[in-house]
């Protein structure tokens, strides 16, 4: 499991984006911790998360430009 994100990152991410503010958040700080933890996990272990994502493609899957 990924360790807890540092306090500065959490504080910065806990400042809600306009669309998050419109949707509301009961606990912006906890939401920020979870978002950052998930992001860190995907960054540190892309081989474990990339295949499961429906939004991730490989170069071979992408159409020619």
Classify each residue of 49-64 as buried b or exposed e, where b means 16 or more C-beta atoms within 10 Å of its C-beta. eeeeeeeeeeeeeeee
Q: 41, 2 in Cβ contact below 8 A?
A: yes
Nearest to 29 by CA among 5, 57, 51, 65: 5
pLDDT in tens, 11-58: 998 998 899 889 988 899 999 999 999 988 888 887 776 555 566 677
pLDDT of residue 59: 77
In degrees, rounded to 5, the angle at the alpha carbon of residue 32 between the alpha carbons of residues 29 and 33 is: 90
pLDDT of residue 63: 76
Q: Which residues, 6+ apart, have CB-to-CB distance to 36 below 8 Å?
A: 5, 9, 10, 13
């Amino acid at each position: 499991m990924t360790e807890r994100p540092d306090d500065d990152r959490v504080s910065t991410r806990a400042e809600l984006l306009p669309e998050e503010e419109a949707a509301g958040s009961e606990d912006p700080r906890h939401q920020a911790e979870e978002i950052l933890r998930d992001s860190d996990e995907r960054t540190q272990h892309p081989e474990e998360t990339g295949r499961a994502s429906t939004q991730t493609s490989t170069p071979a899957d992408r159409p020619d430009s």
